[in-house]
Structure 1
Amino acid sequence: MALTEAPLLFQFEVASSEDLTFIPMCVRFNLDRFGLRISLAQWQLLPYEDRRLLARFPVDEDTEIEPNFDHALFEMLRTHANVEPEWFSPEEAPAWRDANAVPNGIGNQATLANLRTPGVEDWARLAPFQRYVLAKLARKPEANHDFIPAMREFGLAVPR
């Protein structure tokens, strides 16, 4: 797949990620997909144009479609920060991939936000990348400030 024309940002990310100071969800997706971890400090060492390029990579689950994200990231970090990303083994079957079961963390975040937990039908209607985003935002037990805006953007912000 080709790079997108502009960085892939959700509306809820624009305020915090439009200048790419923070790692946008599209980059997080590709980091997780390839089993790479970088710190916010490492991300911020990259020039804006490099961060913008990384945010233009497709968000598809098939690592064979766009195998250059990891290579680009390695070269950029070596060139601008003299570091390499940390490797980890990606989950083989992450919960967000299952369109037939809403991950527990989503219910926890919904409760903290005083929202209804999405039903399986709502969950299944989401694009895989949207499910990834909600699962990523819901991975910790404390409330995530982007969870409500993401739920609103995905049409799931229904009060309890």
Structure 2
Amino acid sequence: MTSEPAIETRFFAFESDFVDSLRCIPMIVRYKLDTCRVKVQLADWAKFNYQEKDDLAEHPCHSAAEIEAYAAYVNELVWKYTNTVPSLLKSLDPAWVYTYVPAEVREKAQEWNCPVISANQWIQLDVLERFALVKLSRSGHEGRNFPRAMVEFGLAVAC
């Protein structure tokens, strides 16, 4: 169990181009997958039906029992469609819990000509917003939603 309060299910406006169909993994699900350290490939996600995807967004994943149940449900779904079990994240760098702005977020803001995020602004964001900015900053992730997130979270007027 984390020291953070439970995360309410919500979708961000920057996800609006896919959230109705859930064709991509929304941040709320990505957060929960990281919490239980399970890695789901987009190809596997695409095989889940809409209700299963929605269940993954809605199911709680905060207490130790909830995290265990969530991981079991994810494993069950991946097995159902692929006859494989998902891999586990080897390590987790929860940069979203830092009280300072992670370097990768500062660098991504600079790359997109977004304003510098102060430490005070960072800690005023909720954990899911910080998680989203970290994930949108990491290499291998399409970062085009980073400026949209910055605007949505009140950190920029435009980037």
Same fold (TM over 0.5): yes
Q: Deviation per CA, 1:76-129, whole angstroms, max 9, x where unpaired? A: 1112232211112342x6221012x10011111111111112100100100111
In structure 2, what is the equivalent of residue 113 of structure 1?
112
Unpaired runs of 5+ residues, structure 1, are none
RMSD: 2.6
Number of matched residues? 155
Equivalent-residue separation in structure 2 for 1:130 and 1:87 (angstroms): 24
In structure 2, what is the equivalent of residue 30 of structure 1?
32
Distance 1:102 1:75, change over 3 A: same
The match for 2:17 among 15, 18, 21 is 15
Matches within 5 A, 1:106-145: 106-140=105-139, 144-145=143-144
Higher helix proportion (structure 1 or 2): 2
Normalised by the length of structure 1, the TM-score is 0.84
Normalised by the length of structure 2, the TM-score is 0.85
Q: Aligned-pair distance for 1:64?
A: 4.4
Distance 1:67 1:144, change over 3 A: same
In structure 1, what is the equivalent of residue 98 of structure 2?
98
Unpaired runs of 5+ residues, structure 2, are none
Q: Deviation per CA, 1:24-62, whole angstroms, max 9, x where unpaired? A: 1111111111111121100001111101110113464x5
In structure 2, what is the equivalent of residue 40 of structure 1?
42
Q: Identity over aligned residues, as a percent?
A: 29
Q: Any conservation in 1 of the 2:61–2:70 contact (CA below 8 Å)?
A: no
In structure 1, what is the equivalent of residue 55 of structure 2?
53
Q: Aligned-pair distance for 1:71?
A: 1.1
Moved >6 Å (runs of 4+)? 1-4
In structure 2, what is the equivalent of residue 76 of structure 1?
77
Equivalent-residue separation in structure 1 for 2:69 and 2:20 (angstroms): 23
